Amino acid sequence: MRRKRLILIILPSFAIFFILFIVIFSIHVKFPLIASTSSSILIEKNTQFTLLIGILTRPDNYDRRHFLRLVYGIQFPLPLVVQIDVKFIFCNLTKPEQRTFISLEIMRFNDIIILNCSENMNSGKTYTYLSSLPRILSRRYDYVMKADDDVFIRLEQLALSLQPLARSDLYYGFVIPCASMNPYGDSYMSGMGFVLSWDLVEWIGNSKIPANDTFGPEDKLVGKWFKKGNKAKNRFSNKPAMYDYPGTNGRCSHELIPNTVAVHRLKRWDQWLHVLNFFNVTKDV
């Protein structure tokens, strides 16, 4: 009797759970919860300019990639007539589980580029990324961005800042040293996120200057290449709209401001929460 009563209690709960599962699964299949991290649906002939954002990360950073897909996916479509594609960039896979799990990501999102290199910090990953693009992409972009996976980029504000700038010989970002406002001379753009026009990307892929100088602080090397090659005559340092998270990096940091383009050094979830709330990212929910 007690067993029968227990079954009668459990069955309705199980039925409700099963029905909810079917409903949620159906909704998920018809209306994917994660938006595409691309604005390629815009009509090509009306596009004013195109931008590829390559986020350099590591194969094992699954959770970070899924989070960033949410962060950037909800920013589309943009009100501007601009095409932005967001891709995740890393070197060759080295583990059996990576080949399976990352294959699933590629099948679902098609937003990963795997470079022919070994993961490294200052041994040429940025060079491999930039120099490979003209060979591995089926199309060209007006601009290419190299970005870190701990930076929050506001895509509309980035596009607005790029819109009036040159489409060639352009080197855009946050100039280092932190206190400097002069993007020329021995300065270079921070690795949080710098933008190059396509002709500079092609030059990096064809010139022996970068090919023979790939070991060392990679973002600093990019500035060194351009100085040696007499390139990147059009430079733009977008301060104070690009910066490090408050209190994380001395004079490179300042408080969050409304006209932000990019906030860097978001290493912890509480920092991401602060940034997303400041910019009212979820206000429409």
pLDDT band at 81 (very low <50, low <70, confident <90, very high): confident
Residue 8: per-residue pLDDT? 40
List, for residues 41-53, the tens digit of each pLDDT value.
343 556 699 999 9
Once rounded to an integer, what is the mean pLDDT over residues 246-251? 94
Residue 219: per-residue pLDDT? 96
Structure-block tokens of residue 124:
């040429």
β-partners of residue 234 are: 170
Half-sphere exposure of 266 (CA within 13 A, CB side): 24
List, for residues 128-146, the tens digit of each pLDDT value.
999 999 999 999 999 999 9
First to last CA, the chain: 48
Q: Is the pLDDT of residue 115 over 90?
A: yes
Using alpha carbons, select from 70, 3, 60, 62 the residue that is nearest to residue 32.
70
List, for residues 209-237, the tens digit of each pLDDT value.
999 999 999 999 999 999 999 999 999 99
CA-only gyration radius of the chain, Å: 22
pLDDT band at 15 (very low <50, low <70, confident <90, very high): very low
Residue 90 neighbours by CB under 8 Å, 6+ apart: 56, 57, 58, 59, 112, 114, 115, 119
Q: Mind spelling out the 3-state secondary structure of 171-227?
A: EEECEECCCCCCCCCCCEECCCEEEEEHHHHHHHHHCHHHHCCCCCCHHHHHHHHHH
pLDDT band at 38 (very low <50, low <70, confident <90, very high): low
List, for residues 99-108, the tens digit of each pLDDT value.
999 999 999 9
Dihedral pair phi/psi, residue 113, rounded to 5°: -120, 120
DSSP 256: -
DSSP 253: B
Q: Is the pLDDT of residue 19 over 70?
A: no
Q: Cα(21)–Cα(15) distance, rounded to whole angstroms?
A: 10
Residue 11: per-residue pLDDT? 39
β-partners of residue 90 are: 114
CA distances from residue 142 to 13, 20, 163, 199, 271 in whole angstroms, order as listed = 56, 47, 11, 8, 32
Would you say the C-alpha torsion 198, 203, 205, 210 has a positive or negative sign? negative
DSSP 90: E
